[in-house]
Amino acid sequence: MMTINVVLVMIIGFAGGVAVGSGFVAFLAVLGIIPRLTQLTKTMKMIHYYEAAVILGALAGAIATLWNPVLFFTPFLLIPLGLAAGIFVGMLAAALTEVLNVFPILAKRIGVDGKIAILLMAFVFGKVIGSLFQWIYFVNR
């Protein structure tokens, strides 16, 4: 009975991992962040290494959430870490905005075809200020 339970739990855990992992990759693929980055840096040939980076990153995240390791590093390591996390989430948000397709319609409605970059900056500043406001003032109130 015990063996069956263990095998059953292993199967459920493995199946859950497969489902979440493939879902995560599908989500990244839909957003098109990796193609966009390779296009900007002109590193199409290195795309397999980027795949490995995503997989290793997901594994590191899984280890960090499941095992609760404590590394006792200097807090200054958090600055590049935070910046990288922010850039990734920023690209995510930008990709979603693009999928929503609001900008082309908005720009046509108010007739500012030339000034779309300024509208874009409204979005960028809004995200940055909103995020700063939340962490510095809004939380723990």
Partner 1 sequence: MEKTVYIRLRHRLQVRPDEVIFLKDIAQVIADEEIYEPLCKLALYQVTVNDRNIVVIDVMKVIRAITNLFPNMEVQSIGPAQGIVEIVAKKRKVSFPLFLLVWLLLFIGAALAIMNFHEDVSMQAVQLRIYTIITGEVDSKPLIFQIPYSIGLGLGMIIFFNHVFKKRLNEEPSPLEVEMFNYQLDLDNYVALHENKESMKRIDDH
Interface positions, 72-91, toward partner 1 (CB under 8 A): 72-91
Helical ranges in 42-77 per DSSP H: 47-67
Task: Assess 60 for contact with partner 1 (CB under 8 A).
Answer: no
Residue 118 makes contact with partner 1 by CB under 8 A: yes
Helix axes 47-67, 33-41, angle to 10 degrees: 130
Calpha distance 101→117 (Å, rounded): 15
Whose Cβ is closer to partner 1: residue 49's or residue 72's?
Answer: 72
Q: Which amino acid is at 107?
A: A
**Would you count residue 12 as binding partner 1 (CB under 8 A)?**
no
Q: Judged by CB under 8 A, does residue 111 bind partner 1?
A: yes
Residues touching partner 1: how many (CB under 8 A)? Answer: 73
**Applying CB under 8 A, which part among 6-14, 18-26, 31-39, 43-51 lies near partner 1?**
31-39
Of 3 and 65, the one with the shorter C-beta distance to partner 1 is 65
What's the CA angle centered on 37, arms 107 and 103, to 5 degrees?
10
CB neighbour class for 131 (10 Å; exposed up to 12, middle 13-18, buried from 19) = middle
Q: E strand or H helix at 106, and its extent? A: helix 102-109
Q: How far is the CB of 8 from partner 1 (least distance, A)?
A: 30
Interface with partner 1, residue 54, by CB under 8 A: no
Under rule CB under 8 A, residue 59 binds partner 1: no
